[in-house]
Structures are given as C-alpha cells and as structure tokens.
Structure 1
C-alpha cells in the first residue's frame, strides 16, 4: 500500500482498506491505525507539536466511532458476501450492489471526519501549505511515471498482473481460462490510467483553490463538497470511464466466480470467514 495518500483524507481509505484489500493480518493493521494515519499525514505536511496535540484526541474519537459503528457494517457486508458465495451463479448486478455499499461506507467516513479536516486545514501555516503543494506535485509525478508514462501494452500487462494477484489471494491458483479472462479485462480498460491520473490532478487543483481560501466564509462549504461529494469534481472523461470500469469489474468478478471450481469457492469462503473473525476479534468491536 502506498505511503503517500492524500493528507486531508487519510481516514477515507479505511473502508476500502478493510473491505477490498487482501491484507494477511487485517486485525494487526487496524489496531495500528492511530500510528499509521499520522505517518501518512507526515508524508505530506509536518505538523507542529500543538497541531499534533490537537489532532490526537480527535483521531482517537474518529477511530472509536469507526470501530463501534462501522465495523459491524463491514461484518454484515462480508457475511452478505459469504451468502452470495454459496450461490451457483452470480450476476454482475449482484456485485454492483456490493460496490454501492462500499461507496456508502466511504461516504459515511467522509461525513464523520469533515469537521476535523476543516479545522486542521485552517491551522496550516504558509510554510506548511508550501510543503503540502510540493509533496502533492512529487507524488503526482511518481504516479505518472509508474502508471501513465509506460507504453500502453506495459500498463495493460501490469494491470492484469495486479488483478491476478488480488484474485488469487481470495480464490487460490487460477486456471489458464481464468487468467485469460483477466487479461481480456485488462485490455478492455485501455487508457484508464491516464484518465484516472488527470482526474486526480483536477481534484487536487480544486483542493488547492479551496485551501487558498481557507480563512474565508465559504471555506467550510467548499471543503465539505470536496470530501463528501468528490464525484461532483470528476472530469467528464473520468465520469464516463468510471461507470464503464465498474461495470467491467462486476462482469469480470461474476465470470470468475461462475467459472470457479469447488476448491476455489471453498478458498473464497474461508478467506471471508477469516476476515469476519479478524474484525470480530478486535477489542473495540461492539459486544
């Protein structure tokens, strides 16, 4: 997982991290979020002692809220996924419903942390703002070098490899026909990397304009919109590509599941049950 995530949205990744990532020790990672999140922030801006002292109790409050109210939702999501995995066949529509629940989880976190993000942003000094902008530019350059500048053929090959690794973490070894299906999906995504990078940079430009006016009366409204309705700032190209990409992913996962043999389906169910046990075993989990 990349070290440099957007500094003003560090808690937003928790939902996707818990619901989608194939972490071998989910419980260990979650227990250390109070250390990991400040580390991510430090990758972009160095907070002074007073800012750190101010942030710490708010971070603990957010984490307590997340554990007591959101983890049961994730367990319910996983248990629903387990029920789906017992079907003989899945449709893309079944999986798109699951995707929608992930988006809802991310949005709930955005709403929870917005006041803290607003107050932290208002406390940034001009020096810290400069540090933030330099870090954003450096990270954008790294992402473009890694994901956009290579020839399209290489991008597609790397995209397919990443997906094969993710799927194998859930299903175990894939058959040649399943690997070929992933390869076809990767080709179908085409120039998605460039569209994604341009959209990310467009959102950041709006972030910069919003932070420049962080001491104006309109700042709370603008930062709330950036965090809670990021899709309102998508580029037209990304809006179209995102819809197509989500539909293609649902079709891919449905095809992979429907082609899975008994061993692969058992591996999938065992992986889901392992994640449920990890979450329920956390000390902060309700009950």
Structure 2
C-alpha cells in the first residue's frame, strides 16, 4: 500500500460503488484492495508506520465485507428482479429498496469506525493541513460543477446525468420518458446548493472534531459523524431530503411503469448480470 490515504469516507462508499452502473462488478470488487488506497490517496499522505498499521485492517474490512455483506447485496438484487417482473411499481416499493441500501451503508460505517478513529488520532498537524487543503480543493471542484452554473444549466445537467443512468438499465429511452426526466430535473430546482451547503456543514463539524482528536470526547464525536450523519444535517437539507427522495422514487416508478417489453427485458438482464458477478466472487481467506 502506497501513496496518500484518507479513510474518512472511502470504505463507507464501497457498497454504493458496487451497486453503481459498472459493467464488471466482479472485476471491480476483486481490485478493491488497490482501488480504495488509490481513492483515499487524494487526501493525506501517510508515513510508513501508518501504512503498515492500516494495511491489515483494510484487508480485514474487505474480508468482512465480502463474507457478511455480499449475500445481502445478492438478496437485494434478487428482490429487485422480482419487482421488475411486476406489471407496475409504486414509489413506496422503491423507497423500500432505498432503505435497504442505507442499511448496508450503515453496516459498513459501523465496521470501519474503529479504524478511522485510530488512524485519525495518529495524524500529525502537517497531515491534518494536507487533509483540509484536499477537502477544500474537492469542494471547490464540486461547487464549480454543480452550484456555480445557473439553475437552468444545473437542471439540464441533472436531466442528462439521469438519462445516462437510466439508459444503463433500460436501454434507449422514448421521448415521453425523456420528458418525464426533464420534469423531475426541473422540480428539484436549486437542490444542488442545498446539498453543497449540507456537505460544507458536515465537513465543518468534522474539522472541529478532528481538531480535538486527542480529547476524551473525540471517539464519541467522530463515531456520531460516521454512523449518524443525518443528525448533523443542515436544517435546509433535512427539510429538502425527504421530498427529493420521494420525487426520485416516483420518477423511477413512472419510468418503469412506462417501460416497454424491450426495456423491461434489458432491466432484468442487467440485474441478472450484476447478481451473477457477485455470486461468482470468492471471499478473502481470513
């Protein structure tokens, strides 16, 4: 393991990455021991001792994830396959699927918390400065891409991203389905700003917590940030999030309900491929 490593969010996103639109989940999963350090390396350089300390813990987490979490992902995909065979879906059906993904992310957060605590307590002042600079740079990039453009341009980009994601599952969309996505994108308005402000708020609390990383309340504070991030949401985001999730669930239900046989077949094939990729994995022999 080499390079610069920042553990605070990487492993927490492993489950989400595996369920993203990836053509070879099995290949991606088998290389997580390389991908995670590379991803983390954008934030802070670790010394040799920290790398040696982290490496076996990362291997343990990956082994745990493979043995205990993959069966749940496969079951989730099998549930999704059953849903895809129904004549119609409701937003409630899909929000239930969202909830299961959140539960999986929570399991990962709980698993990695002790490692994050230990590594954070070992960071030097110089490493903390490096972490803050990297966070600021990343935030500036995200704001330039998602917040600085006009709301009209944000809506257009949001619609384009969603079209690409949906087409990865359903194949080419009909004009009426593209129009439904455009309507959803407009309904979200300046949600990007609310999201970015919430991200800033969470990171501000993270910085304050890390500043006191040698204090007696540090473990409790960082554990809360990792395992109960919603308790640190900004008020505007807390208010907007439920409506945004409902709108997304309704959009996906409407797109499914309007799908023709070709699109539904493509969806089932995509789900099946992902499930087979995960079923074919051998877990780390720990």
Q: Provide the TM-score with structure 1 as the length reference.
A: 0.96
Query: 1:242-264: CA deviations, max 9, x gaps?
Result: 11110000000000000000000
Number of aligned residue pairs: 282
Question: What does residue 94 of structure 2 align with?
Answer: 95
The 3 A distance-change label for structure 1 pair 5 and 265 is farther
Query: 1:180-238: CA deviations, max 9, x gaps?
Result: 00000000010010000000010000000000010011000000000000000001110
RMSD of Structure 2 on Structure 1 (CA) = 1.4
Counterpart Cα distance in 2 of 1:92 and 1:285: 37
Question: What does residue 189 of structure 2 align with?
Answer: 190
Question: What does residue 207 of structure 1 align with?
Answer: 206
Counterpart Cα distance in 1 of 2:272 and 2:40: 32
Query: 1:140-161: CA deviations, max 9, x gaps?
Result: 1111111000111111000000
The reply to whether residue 14 of structure 1 matches residue 9 of structure 2 is no
The 3 A distance-change label for structure 1 pair 208 and 248 is same
Tell me, yes or no, if the aligned pair for 1:46 and 1:128 is still in contact at 8 Å: yes
Q: Alpha-carbon deviation of 1:75?
A: 0.2
Tell me, yes or no, if the aligned pair for 1:7 and 1:40 is still in contact at 8 Å: no
Mapping for residues 1-287 of structure 1, pairs under 5 Å? 7-19=7-19, 21-284=20-283
Tell me, yes or no, if the aligned pair for 1:7 and 1:45 is still in contact at 8 Å: no
Query: Which 4+ runs in 1 deviate beyond 3 A?
Result: 4-7
> Greater shift after overlay, 174-183 or 30-39?
30-39
Q: Provide the TM-score with structure 2 as the length reference.
A: 0.96
5+ residue gaps in structure 2?
Answer: none
